[in-house]
Amino acid sequence: MDLTILLRLFENVVVVALISLFIGQLNYFRLLIYGKNGWKRTVILSVIFGFLSILGTENGIQIDDALANTRIVGAVVGGLVGGPLVGIFSGIIGGIHRYSIGGFTAAACAISTVLCGLLGGLAGIKYDMLRMKWQHIVLLGLTAELIQKILVLLLAKPFAAALALELKIAIPTTSVTILGVMIFIRIFMNIKLLQDQSGAIAANLALSIASRTLPHLRTGLNETSAKQTAEIIHEIANVDAVVITDCDQTLSIVGVGSDRGLHEKAIYAQVTEAILKQNKMRILSLDKEFAHFHRNFPLKSAVGAKLVHNSRPVGTLQIYYKNSFKETQTDLNLVDGLAKLLSVQIELAEIEKQTKMRQQAELNALQAQIKPHFLFNTLSTIMSYCRTNPELARNLLGNLSDIFRRNLNNKNNFNSLKEELDGIKSYLEIEKVRFANRLKVTMEIDESLLNMKFPVLTLQPIIENSIHHGLFPKINNCLLFIRVCKNRNHVQIRVEDNGIGINEKRLAEILNNQTKGIGFSNIHRRLQSIYGKDYGLHIKSEPGSGTIVTFEIPMTGLKEDVI
């Protein structure tokens, strides 16, 4: 083996590798390598690796009327990185160049370059380039060199000269080809590592920003939430300016340029329009893309992305820079990730708003549902006592009036326990009369809890359900037990009756919110919405043995803005 040839070829592949290493630091090249397939990516990668193949030829060693070189390394790696098409096209570029130089091996070398590029592409499909074992790399390099040498022996004339050439350079070229492929794969592993690191940095920044903006965006996208969100992004991301808009107007400008005049602010509107026209993230050079751009405007470039709700744009997120944007992967990932996270938060805010509106509508319906129920049944009872027991009729009218007055005057979502119990006592006085002394009520109330705030219409629907569905069908001995007491740091409420109970199927429907009524399901969802998923109604019942309904309310830690 000629060590001189080996060292010269090694120098050749090192030069090509250094150029590749330099190109690999360019963010555009990294995006290209690990981006989506398309004709543009195929063409650019083919040109790049075709150029590396040409470099391998240009730095080759002249041996008689032939060249010993590392040409096929560029084609093989091009196929590994970009697939068979890139391998073939980069091989064609390198092959044509080699053929143009001439020599008795020119045709064989040109054809072998294309075939080796195809081989690299097929290997890239079978094996993940970044996870190839060293055995696979050795096999790939050996196969590529074997293809080249067989073609030289078959096509190059005279055969004796071709054989002599290959015997002289076989070991050096094969060794350097294997080594070159290994070096290139290592380079692209480092490029991938840089890509992943920049993505991780951007993800951490985006999540940090999202966690701080979540409370503000609970109200949806408006001027207040946009200003608070933009301030957080400006502070954490360390960018020059942040602009958040809806589809019609600029909601917030934070950072450099926030104090500019109306004419300069029109630029933000033009950027918004440009972003909304595209389906992907936009990178804009303000001084080049906008005719009315003023030289004294401090911001020169911007990156923007849509904010969407239900797949429709509702606004934009715009990040501005004083200098031309360098398209670093971290910044691109940050803007893209932030836009997606903010869009999710906006959708969650809308869902939360709709949920609250539905619960409030159900609460209003529940209040409206109680009024006619008492009106028709209680008035009939009062009428029957007007002549026989006028005093009792007056008391019933007073209790009925108290119930309706409370419902009409109740504009808040919370009452004190005392207010809730006063209404329940009026209700029970009416029911005792209607039950004709069949109903006996026992109440155990911890008086230290009377000022505790309770969600409105929590107890009364439960008690009403116990009386009408549990106790009313019984002929006698109708017992209702109500207890409110402390249980560590919670208030525990228990409503128990000895009525007819609830069958297993009906109980499952109630617990799974599958009933047509809105009483129990509304109370259960409201308790969970206010206090958390660990709270809600617990119902225990057996047919013929009665029903027990319990729930707890924390002494502290009420959520805000709840129904």
Structure confidence by residue, pLDDT tens digits, 366-419: 554 455 555 676 777 777 778 777 787 788 788 777 776 766 565 567 788 888
Query: What CATH number should be reported for the domain holding residue 83?
Result: 1.10.1760
Tell me, yes or no, whether 337 and 283 share the same domain: yes
* pLDDT-based confidence at residue 93 (cuts at 50, 70, 90): very high
403 assigned to some structural domain: no
Which whole number is the average pLDDT over 164-178? 84
Tell me, yes or no, whether 253 and 184 share the same domain: no
Please give the model's pTM, rounded to 2 decimal places: 0.46
Domain boundary (295, 319, 353) is at 353
Helix, strand, coil percentages, rounded to 5, for the chain: 60, 15, 25
Tell me, yes or no, whether 192 and 225 share the same domain: no
Tokens of 414: 């919370």
**Contact (Cβ atoms closer than 8 angstroms) between residue 307 and residue 315:** yes
* pLDDT-based confidence at residue 483 (cuts at 50, 70, 90): very high
pLDDT tens digits, one per residue of 437-457: 788 899 999 988 888 888 877
Give CA–CA dist 301/270, Å, rounded: 13
Give the C-alpha distances (Å, rounded to integers) separating 463 from 221, 471, 482. Answer: 42, 10, 9
- Backbone φ and ψ for 516, nearest 5 degrees, come out as -80, -30
Give CA–CA dist 359/413, Å, rounded: 11
pLDDT at 561 over 50: no
203 assigned to some structural domain: no
Tell me, yes or no, whether 326 and 459 share the same domain: no
Tokens of 79: 């196929």
Q: How many independent structural domains does the chain possess?
A: 3
Tell me, yes or no, whether 191 and 239 share the same domain: no
Closest CA to 492 of 470, 459, 523, 525: 459
Query: What CATH number should be reported for the domain holding residue 517?
Result: 3.30.565.10
pLDDT tens digits, one per residue of 414-424: 788 888 888 88
What per-residue confidence (pLDDT) applies to 339? 79
pLDDT at 12 over 50: yes
Give CA–CA dist 119/141, Å, rounded: 10
Tell me, yes or no, whether 296 and 189 share the same domain: no
pLDDT tens digits, one per residue of 277-322: 877 777 777 777 765 666 677 787 888 888 887 778 888 888 888 8
Give CA–CA dist 412/144, Å, rounded: 80
- How distant is the alpha carbon of residue 560 from its chain centre? 25
201 assigned to some structural domain: no
Can you give the residue range of the structural domain that contains 347?
A: 220-353
Give the C-alpha distances (Å, rounded to integers) separating 75 from 42, 90, 166, 319. Answer: 13, 6, 20, 40
Tell me, yes or no, whether 93 and 32 share the same domain: yes
For 32-123, where are the E strands, in sequence order? 61-63, 66-68
430 assigned to some structural domain: no
Tell me, yes or no, whether 124 and 233 share the same domain: no
pLDDT tens digits, one per residue of 236-283: 877 888 888 888 888 888 887 666 555 566 778 888 888 888 777 777
Residue 301, classed as helix, strand or coil, is: strand
Tell me, yes or no, whether 16 and 143 share the same domain: yes
469 assigned to some structural domain: yes
255 assigned to some structural domain: yes
Tell me, yes or no, whether 192 and 265 share the same domain: no
CB-count exposure of residue 281 (10 Å: 0-12, 13-18, 19+) = middle
Tell me, yes or no, whether 189 and 246 share the same domain: no
Percent of the chain with pLDDT strictly greater than 90: 10
Which whole number is the average pLDDT over 159-178? 84
> Identity (one letter) of the amino acid at 240?
D
